Amino acid sequence: MLKEQKLLTKEEEEEETLMDIEESEDKDLIVKQKNREEYKSIVITVLEFLVSNKDTDLKALVQLFESKSTEEYLKLVPSIRKFSEVFIELLRIGTIEVQEMIREQENTYDNEEIEFDLRKLLVDEIQHKYSNNSFNTMNFYKCSDGEKITIKEKTNNTSQQEFVTIETLNCPNIIMKLE
């Protein structure tokens, strides 16, 4: 059976295309915001752990969160890719002079296109929660004993699926110090 089809005028077609573009931009914005929140969650979690322990390592951090609920674990490891990006950047920087980083951040502008700006996340969190704490330097470097640790991705909904792919990260243990 044939159904009557509505013919679109050129204006209606352009309007529909604009609506599709707006919906696509909204979805992109939502995804970017979610990604920013996940990066922020990792940085907040690492910073909280570091402030409370001063001289620790990645192994201790991961072991602590493996014993917590999946929801808590996901604050540290929302995805292996994001988790590894944060720690690769921390290793790349190595030593962070906190006051210098805060001064530099005050002279920069925010780029909304960037999903992950480690320095901005650190400065925002330090100024928000730790402005009264007196630490000057954060250090991140590979442990010299060559020990490797394994971090597994967790998801909330694995019980609903028959087949689940879970990413795993094998990386060197990382020493984290706050001075």
Residue 174 included in any domain: yes
The per-residue pLDDT for 19 is 59
The DSSP code for 117 is: -
Structural domain contains residue 86: yes
Positions of the chain with pLDDT lower than 50, given as ranges: none
Spacing of C-alpha 62 from chain mean position: 15
The reply to whether 7 falls in a domain is: no
Give the count of domains, the chain.
1
Range of the domain at 123: 21-178
Residue 12 included in any domain: no
Q: What is the chain's mean pLDDT, rounded?
A: 83
pLDDT digits (tens, 9 = 90+) for 27-42: 778 888 888 899 999 9
* Phi and psi torsions of 45, nearest 5°: -65, -45
Give residue 87's pLDDT: 95
| Any domain includes 14 | no
The verdict on residue 57 lying in a domain is: yes
Residue pair 171/87 in contact by the 8 Å Cβ criterion:
yes
Question: 168: part of which helix (H) or strand (E)?
Answer: strand 168-172
| 13 belongs to a structural domain | no
